[in-house]
């Protein structure tokens, strides 16, 4: 089979791809008639001169809609099979009343009227690993851009506190930190100087453990070591175990990098995220560390490597939620420089801005995640020049947060088997159960969707400026006992 390479919108060479993938990318509009295609011999030509790709004449928006429909259709078929098999056990007796639903609401303890909404970035790099800007510059940049909580997560480097050197892996695990913020400036930032008293705080002991598949860890004075003899999953389990023992908490970073879900071909990415072996790897880890492994990134950069990770998330939830383990979804910039900061965040719902309150919300799910680009839902899949949205945020894509407003959530009410979301700056609220969007509207009454909701439901609040993702609500169906 012939392999091809192509140059993407950002000028990066991509591939190899086979002829089938070439056709798919052309149909998606990712490969345009002018995209330069090269074969394995290095011969190149614009795609319109290459035999194979058929170019879709639909507009970008129509393409995206088609794509979303195809995606949902394929999931629907799978879900239908699952529902039929579950129904065999759940057929109600004749004359039976409606099912009763117990809803485990991660926002149950949030007082929406009095709690603050705090923007948090949990995954930020600096020159203490491979970032372009110093730790102090990254802290100042987040402060300027309105973040309230910042976890520095340099690769294999422990940021004990913004104004302490910390340490990185190296001879004696002793590589000292650079770009340290002064204690005076730390105190000013925490006090909200120059921001009308609205402070920003740091999380202690941030790290992106990178000897394993990347794991963001906090509150654990620990740096993982390279253990080449262990499998990827064993190394993850080892790191997660030590972090738990040290009293920390962990978040899985950009899983699509490891599952293959990052593939630009959304069909290939979906297949990777539906791969039972990949799903099992994460389910096993979440069930092994239910108290300290709190969640996973469902959004990283401009939905680059995470483009199929909401599919993976749903697949994981389908297995962990029946066992009582919620997996919270995170949206992080994974910023490696100030131009990459400002696109994604997590809105922490806290009675007060402290590290302890943040940790409690991380453990209980009292937050929602916000991203500017969702390549699955067709939100900002294309930039305003009509090109496929670049993978990384930059000055050229800053309009996504300087000129557009992302959706927000102002209240969530759970009552009598129904969940209601109030918010702003959105076009619709979609409700997802078992990986399928089953309903759109502000209020979902679970009794109206009998048979489609089994162990969880979550919502995405979708607008032109981005998407706000709720955490999963746990569902227990009490039908058979009535
Ligand atoms: Zn990473
Ligand atoms: Zn990172």
CATH number for position 277:
3.20.20.140
| Same domain (yes/no): 363, 240 | yes
Instruction: Evaluate whether residue 140 is within a structural domain.
Output: yes
Boundary of a domain, candidates 368, 389, 404: 404
| Same domain (yes/no): 230, 379 | yes
Boundary of a domain, candidates 17, 33, 49: 49
pLDDT at 481: 37
Q: Could you tell me which residue, 41 or 5, shows the higher pLDDT?
A: 5
**65 CA from centroid of ligand 2 (Å):** 31
| Same domain (yes/no): 241, 330 | yes
Boundary of a domain, candidates 404, 432, 465: 404
pTM of the predicted structure, to 2 decimals? 0.80
Instruction: Evaluate whether residue 169 is within a structural domain.
Output: yes
**89 CA from centroid of ligand 1 (Å):** 43
| Same domain (yes/no): 176, 306 | yes
Instruction: Evaluate whether residue 67 is within a structural domain.
Output: no
Average pLDDT over residues 202-230: 91
Residue 400 phi, psi dihedral angles, 5° rounding: -60, -30
Q: Could you tell me which residue, 304 or 25, shows the higher pLDDT?
A: 304
pLDDT of residue 28 exceeding 70, the answer is: no
Asked whether the beta carbons of 177 and 168 are under 8 A apart, the reply is yes
**242 CA from centroid of ligand 1 (Å):** 19
| Same domain (yes/no): 374, 282 | yes
**125 CA from centroid of ligand 1 (Å):** 10
Q: Which two tokens stand for residue 280?
A: 């099992």
Instruction: Evaluate whether residue 97 is within a structural domain.
Output: no
**254 CA from centroid of ligand 1 (Å):** 7
CA distance 93 to 95: 6
**223 CA from centroid of ligand 1 (Å):** 15
pLDDT at 450: 86
| Same domain (yes/no): 180, 321 | yes
CA distance 143 to 200: 7
From the CA of 122, the nearest ligand is: 2
| Same domain (yes/no): 18, 167 | no
From the CA of 153, the nearest ligand is: 2
pLDDT at 381: 98
pLDDT at 90: 40
pLDDT of residue 73 exceeding 70, the answer is: no
In the chain, % helix, strand, coil (3-state, to 5) comes to 30, 25, 45
**456 CA from centroid of ligand 2 (Å):** 29
| Same domain (yes/no): 134, 23 | no
Q: How many domains does the chain have?
A: 2
From the CA of 125, the nearest ligand is: 2
Q: Which two tokens stand for residue 121?
A: 């970035």
Domain range holding 15? 4-49
Q: Which residue has the tokens 């922490």?
A: 348
| Same domain (yes/no): 251, 350 | yes
| Same domain (yes/no): 30, 164 | no
Write the CB contacts of 376 (distance below 8 Å, at least 6 apart in sequence). Answer: 68, 71, 266, 303, 307, 308, 310, 311
| Residues β-bridged to residue 149 | 120, 201
| Same domain (yes/no): 321, 185 | yes
pLDDT of residue 175 exceeding 80, the answer is: no
Residues near ion ligand 2 (CB < 5 Å) are 208, 334
Residues near ion ligand 1 (CB < 5 Å) are 214, 253
| Same domain (yes/no): 12, 147 | no
pLDDT at 27: 66
Q: Could you tell me which residue, 84 or 135, shows the higher pLDDT?
A: 135
Instruction: Evaluate whether residue 318 is within a structural domain.
Output: yes
Instruction: Evaluate whether residue 429 is within a structural domain.
Output: no
Instruction: Evaluate whether residue 334 is within a structural domain.
Output: yes
Taking the CA atoms of residue 288, residue 109, residue 195 and residue 470 in that order, the dihedral angle to the nearest 10 degrees is: 60
Instruction: Evaluate whether residue 161 is within a structural domain.
Output: yes
């Amino acid at each position: 089979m012939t392999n091809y390479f192509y140059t993407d919108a950002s000028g990066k060479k991509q591939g190899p791809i086979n002829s089938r993938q070439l056709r798919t990318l052309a149909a998606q509009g990712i490969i345009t008639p002018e995209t330069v295609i090269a074969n394995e011999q290095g011969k190149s030509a614009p795609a319109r001169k290459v035999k194979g790709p058929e170019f879709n004449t639909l507009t970008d928006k129509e393409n995206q809609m088609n794509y979303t429909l195809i995606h949902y259709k394929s999931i629907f078929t799978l879900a239908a099979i699952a529902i039929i098999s579950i129904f065999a056990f759940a057929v109600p007796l004749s004359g039976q009343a409606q099912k009763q639903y117990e809803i485990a609401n991660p926002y149950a303890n949030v007082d929406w009227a009095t709690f603050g909404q705090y923007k948090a970035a949990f995954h930020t790099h600096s020159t203490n690993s491979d970032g372009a800007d110093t730790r102090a510059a990254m802290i100042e940049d987040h402060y300027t851009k309105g973040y309230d909580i910042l976890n520095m997560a340099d690769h294999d480097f422990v940021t004990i506190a913004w104004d302490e050197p910390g340490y990185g892996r190296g001879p004696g695990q002793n590589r000292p930190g650079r770009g340290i913020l002064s204690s005076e400036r730390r105190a000013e930032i925490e006090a909200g100087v120059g921001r009308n008293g609205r402070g920003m705080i740091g999380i202690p002991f941030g790290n992106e453990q990178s000897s394993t598949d990347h794991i963001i860890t906090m509150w654990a004075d620990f740096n993982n070591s390279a253990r080449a003899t262990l499998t990827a999953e064993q190394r993850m389990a080892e790191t997660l175990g030590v972090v738990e023992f040290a009293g920390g908490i962990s978040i899985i970073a950009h899983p699509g990098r490891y599952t293959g879900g990052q593939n630009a071909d959304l069909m290939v990415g979906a297949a990777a995220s539906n791969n039972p072996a990949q799903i099992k790897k994460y389910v096993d880890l979440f069930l092994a560390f239910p108290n300290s492994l709190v969640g996973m990134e469902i959004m990283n950069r401009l939905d680059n490597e995470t483009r199929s990770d909401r599919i993976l998330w749903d697949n994981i939830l389908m297995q962990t939620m029946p066992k009582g383990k919620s997996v919270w979804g995170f949206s992080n910039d994974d910023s490696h420089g100030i131009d990459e900061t400002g696109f994604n965040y997590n809105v922490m719902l806290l009675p007060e801005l402290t590290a302890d309150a943040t940790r409690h919300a991380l453990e209980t799910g009292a937050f929602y995640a916000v991203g500017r680009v969702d390549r699955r839902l067709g939100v900002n899949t294309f930039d305003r020049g009509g090109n496929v949205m670049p993978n990384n945020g930059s000055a050229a894509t800053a309009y996504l947060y300087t000129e557009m407003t992302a959706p927000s959530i102002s209240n969530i009410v759970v009552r009598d088997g129904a969940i209601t979301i109030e918010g702003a700056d959105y076009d619709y609220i979609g409700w997802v159960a078992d990986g399928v969007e089953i309903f759109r509207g502000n209020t979902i009454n679970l009794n109206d969707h009998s048979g489609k909701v089994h162990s969880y439901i979550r919502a995405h609040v979708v607008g032109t400026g981005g998407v706000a993702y709720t955490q999963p609500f746990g569902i227990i169906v009490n039908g058979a006992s009535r």
